[in-house]
């Protein structure tokens, strides 16, 4: 079966995608610099799938290291590129770090992948490219507005870089997957979201607060023009998301793409407010959450949820797991890692 490179493959979405790729029979090579992940995730992947992926610790900012890697792996048939810094709030405070981590590394990757015999590239993009959309749900044809954060800007620029490569190289095939808010964990509770330090995302902060690791959750703003005043997002189960990457990759490998650059939204098509996510957690866990209302956070858009019709019809993919499924698996994962730590 085809050899596939997954960058950031020990991260949250990356590890789940590695599992789904291996379940489909792909040979997987993982690159990760372990800056926001840990090596024991590799063992956890093996315990789920029974297969040992090839692993190389590599910082993709090391251009020579990237070149050497591809010299040693010329038989790679496709790349799923996750490796990037991803916290909106942190990007506002550390813009240069985000531009270096997310764009320099992308350029180094594309320089090498475009020279492979099989240039198939899946880009981990984001709904942040849309900024605050004029209409909801958001379709792929929605205008890409000025980004609300440096993180969002790196995804916009990343897509522009890939588009330019595709224009001048008809043999280079890419799909940008614009996903909404990934949450949840594998049903085995062996892999899940495990941010180093204080979580920047809602759900791990919820589970860490519930288990006693954090004193209190802050809900940033309750005066937005939404049903309950809190921000609305499209929360997609990470396993559904991982499966979409496999489907997109199979589309490229099967030469079924309509053009050599395509974009797809990945979400559930339903928006949930921050308070609705908290209520879902309390419902499935039986635990009351300690939270407070805080000031709005810079860089946050009011509401964003996907129109998934294109992914449903063209990719033949749709999300299957619910918000409660995601919160239940996230809580099981949190309890499991604290029990074993």
Tens digit of each residue's pLDDT (9 = 90 or more) over 213-235: 999 999 999 999 999 999 999 99
Q: With bands split at pLDDT 50, 70 and 90, how would you rate the model's confidence at 341?
A: low
Question: What amino acid positions are annotated as catalytic residues?
Answer: 151
Pick from 329, 324, 341, 86: nearest CA to 199 = 86
Tens digit of each residue's pLDDT (9 = 90 or more) over 13-43: 999 999 999 999 999 999 999 998 999 999 9
The per-type count for the chain, helices as H runs and strands as E runs, is 12, 14
Q: Per DSSP, which regions of 180-314 are E strands? A: 181-183, 217-220, 232-233, 235-237, 261-266, 272-273, 291-294, 303-304
Q: Say how far apart CA 187 and CA 15 lie, in whole Å.
A: 13
DSSP class of 139? P
Pick from 222, 91, 204: nearest CA to 157 = 91
Going by C-beta distance under 8 Å and a sequence separation of 6 or more, which residues neighbour residue 111? none
Q: Give the model's pLDDT for residue 340.
A: 66
Q: What is the mean pLDDT of the chain?
A: 95
Q: What mean pLDDT is predicted for residues 131-155?
A: 91
Q: At what angle are helices 105-113 and 63-72 packed, to 10 degrees?
A: 30
DSSP class of 318? -
Lowest-pLDDT choice from 124-128, 145-149, 186-190, 330-334: 145-149
Q: What is the pairing mode between strands 232-233 and 172-179? A: unpaired
Give how far the C-alpha of residue 178 lies from the chain's centroid of Cα atoms, to the nearest Å: 9
Q: Give the model's pLDDT for residue 87.
A: 82
Tens digit of each residue's pLDDT (9 = 90 or more) over 271-330: 999 999 999 999 999 999 999 999 998 778 899 999 999 999 999 999 999 999 999 999
Q: Give the model's pLDDT for residue 1.
A: 83
Q: With bands split at pLDDT 50, 70 and 90, how would you rate the model's confidence at 86?
A: confident
What is the CB neighbour count within 10 angstroms for residue 270?
17
Q: What mean pLDDT is predicted for residues 70-94?
A: 93
Q: Give the model's pLDDT for residue 18.
A: 98
Burial of 187 (C-beta count, 10 Å sphere; 0-12/13-18/19+):
middle
Give how far the C-alpha of residue 26 lies from the chain's centroid of Cα atoms, to the nearest Å: 20
């Amino acid at each position: 079966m085809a050899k596939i490179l997954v960058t950031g493959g020990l991260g949250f979405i990356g590890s789940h995608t590695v599992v789904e790729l291996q379940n489909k029979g792909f040979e997987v090579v993982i690159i990760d610099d372990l800056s926001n992940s840990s090596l024991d995730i590799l063992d956890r992947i093996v315990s789920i799938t029974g297969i040992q992926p090839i692993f190389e610790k590599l910082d993709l900012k090391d251009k020579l290291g990237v070149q050497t890697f591809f010299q040693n792996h010329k038989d790679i048939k496709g790349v799923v590129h996750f490796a990037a810094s991803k916290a909106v709030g942190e990007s506002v405070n550390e813009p240069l770090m985000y531009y270096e981590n997310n764009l320099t590394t992308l350029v180094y990757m594309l320089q090498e992948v475009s020279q492979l015999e099989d240039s198939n590239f899946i880009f981990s993009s984001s709904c942040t490219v849309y900024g605050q959309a004029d209409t909801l749900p958001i379709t792929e044809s929605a205008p890409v507005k000025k980004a609300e954060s440096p993180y969002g800007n790196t995804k916009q620029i990343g897509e522009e870089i890939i588009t330019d490569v595709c224009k001048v190289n008809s043999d280079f095939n890419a799909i940008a997957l614009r996903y909404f808010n990934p949450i949840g964990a594998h049903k085995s509770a062996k892999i899940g979201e495990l941010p180093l330090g204080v979580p920047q995302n809602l759900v791990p902060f919820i589970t860490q607060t519930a288990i006693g690791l954090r004193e209190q959750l802050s809900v940033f703003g309750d005066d937005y023009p939404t049903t309950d005043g809190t921000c609305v997002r499209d929360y997609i189960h990470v396993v559904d998301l991982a499966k979409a990457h496999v489907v997109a990759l199979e589309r490229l490998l099967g030469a079924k793409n309509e053009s050599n650059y395509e974009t797809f939204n990945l979400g559930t098509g339903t928006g949930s407010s921050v308070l609705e996510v908290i209520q879902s957690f309390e419902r499935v866990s039986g635990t009351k959450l300690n939270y407070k209302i805080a000031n709005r956070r810079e860089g946050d858009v009011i509401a964003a949820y996907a129109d998934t019709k294109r992914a449903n019809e063209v990719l033949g993919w749709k999300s299957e797991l619910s918000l409660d499924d995601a919160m239940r698996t996230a809580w099981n994962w949190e309890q499991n890692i604290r029990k074993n730590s």
